[in-house]
């Protein structure tokens, strides 16, 4: 069976199904299409299926021209009809893995899409889970659903885990050139999954099991979460001592070995770093282990929006203004600069905390003309214009996202107070306002 699949992969005769056409699934679909495969993108959201059908991209940093070319080339189509899974030789699952209300893993998307796959599973298929999750998900949660059909791996089908590594908006790294770690639940599965990815991406890194692959992704994200927490804590400490953490980091960066720069901010955002580490802490408890670094990093990072608001209150106070009734403008809803992704963005919490203190809050973000309701927040606001005149009407401007547009000094010609969480603001010559780093 494996040999047959390998031959078909080599000859580009395999049809690749990708379940979930979001930030991870869509670029992956394009990479396989561009490598010469027939690709079917499955999504439960009819609006996304319709947009892809028209050859449109709903994610700004994924060019509409690539989607249009893939659709027009006739090798890529999107559908909400899971019966088409039957025609796929490989099925890659890229659905969300959020946290529940008590910060516990919510595997419902993975389980639901695996059930869709199981209902159409046929001998010879390769299934790969890509969603970030705790070690053991592929063999303890996914495999039993697939094997409940009566088919077994590796005899009838193959099963692996391969984590996605995306850095949205990064012009240097994209799906094709980012090395792909792959681990199967058995050797035959690893072999088949390695062959599939090697046909589409530049470098594949096989590991000994799905669990190692799952853990690799968690290590990468926990590494970021812990280091960001460290610089956030140092920011607050140095700030109390009158030392600029940004200048310290720039100086430390000149060390040619043994130091990796991380930058402080208003709190964590995005689908990965604020959530994924807790998948491991939840699973670790099953083994009687307490992942203290993860918890501590979570505690420091989730405090940051509060810190930014405290700094804003104090700065307004120095100007003789109360936060109650103050007009405050928050710059940026995206969780990082120059992308249109606002998932888990700390900006929403900052807006809500400022409102709780009685401030009148507006926001400006060219990527979000209207603030969308999210899982936890619904601020019901529209973006104000991004110009100096509009900014001048506020008692404080809080920069939460370092979008390129916000780096123009001219924007701050008439602002009274800027609270800068990203070291992004420079005042133009002659400006009378001030910048407080937070
Ligand atoms: N966004 C990133 O930068 C990134 C990076 C690495 C890993 N990941 C991981 O990849 C996974 C997917 O993340 P994402 O950012 O692509 O999420 P996303 O929300 O952008 O996309 C998920 C898509 O799956 C669809 N979907 C949900 N349930 C479905 C179902 N049962 N059947 C078919 N489609 C379904 C949704 O409509 C959505 O379009 C997560 O586990 C995430 O942690 C994300």
> Does 109 contact ligand 1 (Cβ within 6 A)?
yes
Q: Going by CA atoms, what residue is nearest to atom 41 of ligand 1?
A: 131
424 neighbors 356 (Cβ within 8 angstroms): no
Q: What is the pLDDT of residues 101-117, one digit of tens each?
A: 888 999 999 999 999 99
Q: Is 364 known to be catalytic? A: no
User: Of the residues 88, 94, 272, 364, which is catalytic?
Assistant: 272
* pLDDT score of 60: 80
How far is the C-alpha of 435 from the C-alpha of 66, rounded, in Å? Answer: 41
- The Å distance, Cα 131 to ligand 1 centre, comes to 7
> Does 79 contact ligand 1 (Cβ within 6 A)?
no
> Does 94 contact ligand 1 (Cβ within 6 A)?
yes
Average pLDDT score over residue span 180-193: 98
Q: Across all residues in the chain, what is the average pLDDT?
A: 96
26-59 burial string, b = 16+ CB within 10 Å, else e? bbbbbbbbbbebbbbbbbbeeebbebbeebebbb
How far is the C-alpha of 70 from the C-alpha of 78, rounded, in Å? Answer: 11
Q: What percent of the chain has pLDDT over 70?
A: 100
Q: Which of 17, 31, 43, 167 to mutate to test the pocket of ligand 1 (most atoms within 8 A of CB)?
A: 43
* pLDDT score of 102: 87
- Residue 336: pLDDT over 80: yes
152 neighbors 121 (Cβ within 8 angstroms): no
Average pLDDT score over residue span 369-391: 94
* pLDDT score of 375: 79
- Residue 62: pLDDT over 90: no
* pLDDT score of 182: 98
Q: Which residues contact 17 (CB under 8 A, 6 or more apart)?
A: 39, 40, 41, 42, 84, 85, 87, 88, 90, 91, 92
Q: CA torsion, points 79, 80, 86, 90, in degrees to nearest 10?
A: 70
- The Å distance, Cα 285 to ligand 1 centre, comes to 26
How far is the C-alpha of 88 from the C-alpha of 190, rounded, in Å? Answer: 18
> Tokens at residue 193, please?
């999954």
- Residue 46: pLDDT over 80: yes
Average pLDDT score over residue span 158-164: 98
316 neighbors 417 (Cβ within 8 angstroms): yes
- pLDDT level of residue 2 (50, 70, 90 thresholds): confident
Q: Which of 79, 91, 94, 137 to mutate to test the pocket of ligand 1 (most atoms within 8 A of CB)?
A: 94
* Higher pLDDT among residues 174 and 119, named by residue: 119
- Residue 367: pLDDT over 90: yes
Pairing relationship of beta strands 204-206 and 434-437 according to DSSP bridges: unpaired
* pLDDT score of 84: 98
Q: Going by CA atoms, what residue is nearest to atom 20 of ligand 1?
A: 22
> Tokens at residue 60, please?
């700004």
* pLDDT score of 103: 87
Determine which helix (DSSP H) or strand (DSSP E) holds 159, and give its type and residue range. Answer: strand 158-161
Q: Residue 277's closest CA among 224, 234, 232, 230?
A: 224
Sheet holding 417-420, edge to edge: 360-364, 327-331, 396-399, 417-420, 434-437
> Does 80 contact ligand 1 (Cβ within 6 A)?
no
Average pLDDT score over residue span 308-313: 98
> Does 202 contact ligand 1 (Cβ within 6 A)?
no
pTM of the model: 0.94
Q: What is the pLDDT of residues 65-103, one digit of tens each?
A: 999 999 999 999 999 999 999 999 999 999 999 999 888
49 φ, ψ to 5°?
A: -60, -45
* pLDDT score of 9: 93
> Does 21 contact ligand 1 (Cβ within 6 A)?
yes
- Residue 1: pLDDT over 80: no
> Does 391 contact ligand 1 (Cβ within 6 A)?
no
Q: What is the pLDDT of residues 251-301, one digit of tens each?
A: 999 999 999 999 999 999 998 899 999 999 999 999 999 999 999 999 999
Average pLDDT score over residue span 305-320: 98
> Does 41 contact ligand 1 (Cβ within 6 A)?
no
Q: Which residues contact 173 (CB under 8 A, 6 or more apart)?
A: 167
- The Å distance, Cα 96 to ligand 1 centre, comes to 4
* pLDDT score of 168: 79
Q: Which of 23, 127, 279, 343 to mutate to test the pocket of ligand 1 (most atoms within 8 A of CB)?
A: 23
> Does 22 contact ligand 1 (Cβ within 6 A)?
yes
């Amino acid at each position: 069976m494996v040999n047959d699949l390998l031959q078909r992969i080599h000859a580009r005769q395999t049809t690749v199904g990708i379940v979930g056409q979001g930030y991870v699934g869509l670029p992956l679909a394009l990479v396989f299409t561009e490598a010469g495969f027939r690709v079917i993108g499955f999504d439960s959201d009819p609006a996304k299926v319709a947009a892809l059908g028209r050859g449109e991209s709903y994610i700004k940093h994924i060019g509409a021209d690539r989607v249009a070319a893939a659709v027009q080339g006739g090798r890529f189509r999107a559908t909400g009809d899971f019966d088409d899974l039957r025609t796929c030789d490989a099925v890659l699952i890229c659905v969300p893995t959020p946290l529940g209300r008590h910060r516990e893993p919510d595997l419902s998307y993975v389980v639901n899409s695996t059930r869709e796959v199981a209902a159409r599973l046929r001998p010879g298929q390769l299934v790969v889970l890509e969603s970030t999750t705790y070690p053991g998900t592929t063999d303890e949660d996914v495999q039993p659903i697939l094997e409940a059909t009566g088919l077994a791996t590796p005899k009838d089908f193959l099963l692996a885990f391969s984590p996605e590594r995306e850095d949205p908006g990064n012009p240097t790294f994209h799906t094709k050139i980012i090395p792909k770690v792959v681990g199967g639940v058995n050797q035959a599965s690893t072999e088949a999954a390695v062959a599939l990815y090697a046909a589409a991406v530049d470098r594949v890194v096989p590991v000994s099991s799905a669990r190692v692959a799952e853990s690799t992704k968690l290590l990468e994200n926990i590494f970021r979460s812990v280091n960001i927490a460290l610089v956030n804590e140092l920011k607050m400490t140095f700030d109390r001592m009158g030392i600029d953490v940004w200048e310290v980091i720039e100086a430390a960066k000149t060390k040619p070995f043994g130091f990796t720069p991380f930058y402080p901010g208003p709190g964590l955002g995005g689908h990965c770093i604020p959530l994924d580490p807790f998948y491991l802490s939840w699973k670790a408890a099953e083994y009687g282990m307490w992942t203290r670094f993860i918890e501590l990093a979570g505690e420091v990072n989730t405090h940051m929006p509060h810190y930014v608001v405290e700094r804003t209150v104090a700065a307004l106070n120095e100007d003789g203004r109360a936060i109650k009734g103050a007009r405050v403008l928050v710059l940026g809803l995206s969780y990082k600069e120059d992308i249109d992704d606002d998932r888990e963005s700390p900006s929403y919490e900052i807006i809500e905390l400022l409102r709780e203190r009685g401030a009148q809050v507006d926001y400006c973000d060219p990527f979000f003309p209207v603030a969308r309701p999210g899982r936890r927040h619904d601020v019901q606001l529209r973006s104000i214009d991004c110009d100096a005149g509009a900014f001048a009407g506020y008692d404080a401007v809080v920069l939460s996202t370092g979008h390129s547009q916000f780096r123009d000094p001219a924007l701050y010609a008439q602002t009274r107070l800027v609270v800068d969480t990203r070291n992004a603001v420079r005042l133009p010559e002659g400006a009378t306002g001030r910048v407080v780093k937070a």
